[in-house]
A and B are shown apart, each in its own frame.
Chain A
């Protein structure tokens, strides 16, 4: 599904990733861990094509990203749902429209959008907040809107960058449950976090980064 081969990414003088290789199978649930600045977000950005590797190659769902035409990028991204570390919600749109936009860019009919958005809202337990604007939501609620937007397009891969970043224990447990549920339906999940408590005893795969190096690849 996703394959990194000796990938290096350099920002000006900082090497964010150094010769990182791994491969993730379809339907797998994988954590990416490591301290702040280890390169977690960079790794995810390379997957959703926001960045290009300086060395090495990446293949996603059979696409070689290096030989990918610019025009194909949006269509590859439609297979990837992203939960951003900083949410990236549209402040001037309500919850419904924030989620619907993921389908509107795909040209889905409004009637279908309606039912799919409501389904996604049900999954993240936010049906009562359809009309609210992001500024009127708590951090956990905004996080869940972001998750709903990421999954409403039924992507094959779901990427989450610190989706429990600043949530309390209950909220974190709730969001973990949602991800396990999505994964149970067959979606590949890549979940970046620096919270080792979250990873512990899950029995899931963990890629540990430190200072740009992949230092461990094992089951928790």
Chain B
């Protein structure tokens, strides 16, 4: 492959300038990687939060077995319900006693159970969607002998906002840094192209196809991008390693996850962005003056 040899030779010829480009691309990709990594972990944390989100359905004291069965049947059929637990009046009292412990004496002297039967509902984290959950709550509220539905509205809102906000911000940053990587490869190749302009003109006159002229440049851009990607991968690996270090004072960080395929994909992303940048830099080649 003559183009490949030409590209490697040129890469080596300008190795210091190219190293600079690689480092710049690596920095861009590193930031890109950190953003994706953060986004991934925020999503993960956000996706676990719904597990703590419960809906308490309080039934009226007059609720019959039929009412309860009806509610449970509905919950069973709902695709977003993870599980539910029925707590009878008696269970509720027992639980109250247990939680009061030594203070349980205050319950003495109460003859009748003052509590209500209830159902605790948990939502599947994969199905956690504001509209779907609100629809479920409204439906339950509308059922007969349902006194009240209590849920953590604040938690509910924050889960929504957190992941949405991060997603938006992350997407913006990803776009910005992808563009910057494209731009670095663009300008690197553009400079190379201008410097070799005379050579290219000669190639054209000798009958070289556009593919033949372009390929060494695109190979160069791609190699620069891929090398930048490798460097960024290594940097992210190190970054996460330090973040998760054993003597880290923030224990929460130890739970951060760095998915391996993601590290492997950065060089490929770099290669693609590098190829894109150099392709744009070459623009339209023309054989003839108008």
Contact = CB atoms under 8 A, between A and B. Distances in A.
For this complex, into which size category does the number of interface residues on chain B fall?
10 to 19
Interface string A25-61: 0000000000000000000000011111000000000
B208 A74 contact: yes
Contacts of B202: 88, 90
9 contacts: A48-B205, A50-B205, A74-B204, A74-B208, A77-B205, A77-B206, A88-B202, A90-B202, A101-B203
Given A88-B202, A90-B199, A90-B202, A105 B207 contact: yes
B196 to A, nearest CB: 10
Given A88-B202, A90-B199, A105 B289 contact: no
Contact of B207 (A70, A90, A106): A106
Given A74-B207, A102-B206, A52 B287 contact: no
A173 interface: no
A74 B203 CA distance: 10
A206 B203 CA distance: 30
A102 B206 CA distance: 6
A55 to B, nearest CB: 15
Contacts, number: 52
Interface in B45-98: none
Contacts of B2: 104
For this complex, into which size category does the number of interface residues on chain A fall?
20 to 34
Interface string B33-47: 000000000000000
Given A77-B206, A90-B202, A70 B287 contact: yes
Contacts of A84: 205
Interface of B: 2, 199, 201-210, 212, 286-290
Contacts of B286: 70
A73 B202 CA distance: 14
B203 A50 contact: no
A17 to B, nearest CB: 15
A73 B206 contact: no
A104 B6 CA distance: 11
A213 B232 CA distance: 65
B206 A105 contact: yes
Nearest to B199: A90
Contacts of A149: 206
A77 B207 CA distance: 5
A144 interface: no
Contact of A51 (B207, B208, B289): B289
Contact of B205 (A70, A88, A106): A88
Nearest to B202: A88
Contacts of A50: 205, 287-289
B213 to A, nearest CB: 9
